[in-house]
Amino acid sequence: MAELPPPPEGILLGYFIVSDDVERSQRFYTEVLGGRLLFSGTPTVVALANTWIVINTGGGPTDDKPTVTLETPPDPDRISSFLNFRVKDIEAVYAEWSARGAQFLTPPKRHQYETRCYVRDPDGYLIEVGQTTDPQGDWSPTQWQPSLQARRR
């Protein structure tokens, strides 16, 4: 396996997905969402925004996860996690990704603190795309820890 670059410091968060067709998913994350292929193989790794999408086939238990079976979502309408992208211009992202073949569940919808919409990848994984509606672009809930709010200033 090729050596992937380590994060410059600290940790790098990656999102692992199981795919029924790794090449199809690779094309979606690179050609539709604009990611950059870091490694093609087992697993395939795509750099997207400030994270990695790790794509691999499913499979049964292994010695380090003896009771876990990896599989694609059996029902794409019942989920327990999803990717969440924060963007500066949701209308531009919606238009660009739609033109590349992304099929959104709805157009962007305005809510109290954000405008958002959702798209699925080829295996049914849900991806949220959102933009803050705060005119200063830095809204954060008042219930967040004061130390987090101070860092944003």
Domains of the chain: 14-59+74-139 (3.10.180.10)
Please state, in angstroms and rounded to a whole number, the distance separating the CA atoms of residues 106 and 93: 14
**pLDDT value of residue 39:** 92
> Which residues are within 8 A (CB) of 20 and not within 5 positions of it... i.e. 6 or more apart?
57, 58, 72, 123
Of 6-15, 27-36, 68-77, 132-141, the least confident: 132-141
Is a pLDDT exceeding 50 seen at residue 149? no
Residue found by looking up tokens 């999803």 in the block: 82
Is a pLDDT exceeding 70 seen at residue 119? yes
Q: Which residues lie across from 55 on neighbouring strands?
A: 17, 44
